[in-house]
Amino acid sequence: AAGVIQSPRHLIKEKRETATLKCYPIPRHDTVYWYQQGPGQDPQFLISFYEKMQSDKGSIPDRFSAQQFSDYHSELNMSSLELGDSALYFCASSPTSGRAETQYFGPGTRLLVL
């Protein structure tokens, strides 16, 4: 079965640089979520999109922005990177109908800021 695809899987950046993470949801899933998981921490919800509109907002820093495109893929843009942004970033998607509340997670993008 198709899963959520995230790219890149690993990313190394310097402080103050920018990064763009991409997420391709499971086919026929129209909802995308972004989470940040620091070392030894639980995942923290950042932001979600439903039908290409921002739906819910969590603890996303002002330096981060995200959008969902017409093909339902999503991108998380991170600027002025800080050491504390080093984390595992998950994208999740949920279906249009049926168990629409169930989120299926991608493998994550490991971001290291030096």
Q: Does 61 bind other proteins (CB under 8 A)?
A: no
Q: String of b and e for 1-17 (b: at least 16 CB within 10 Å)?
A: eeebbbeeeebebeeee
Q: Computed over its alpha carbons, how large is the radius of gyration of the chain?
A: 13
Q: Does 49 bind other proteins (CB under 8 A)?
A: yes
Q: One symbol per residue from 4 to 43: x for binding other proteins (CB under 8 A), - otherwise; what is it?
A: ---------------------------xxx-x-x---xxx
CA gap 69, 73 in Å, rounded: 6
By C-beta, is 14 or 70 nearer to other proteins?
70
According to CB under 8 A, which one of 26, 61, 79, 105 is a site residue for other proteins? Answer: 105
By C-beta, is 16 or 57 nearer to other proteins?
57
Interacting stretch for other proteins, rule CB under 8 A, among 6-14, 20-28, 76-84, 99-107? 99-107
Q: Can you say whether the dihedral through the CA atoms of 71, 51, 22, 26 is positive or negative?
A: negative
CA gap 62, 10 in Å, rounded: 23
42, with CB counted inside 10 A (0-12, 13-18, 19+), is exposed
Interface residue list for other proteins (CB under 8 A)? 31-33, 35, 37, 41-50, 55-56, 58, 88, 90, 92, 94, 99, 101-105, 107-108
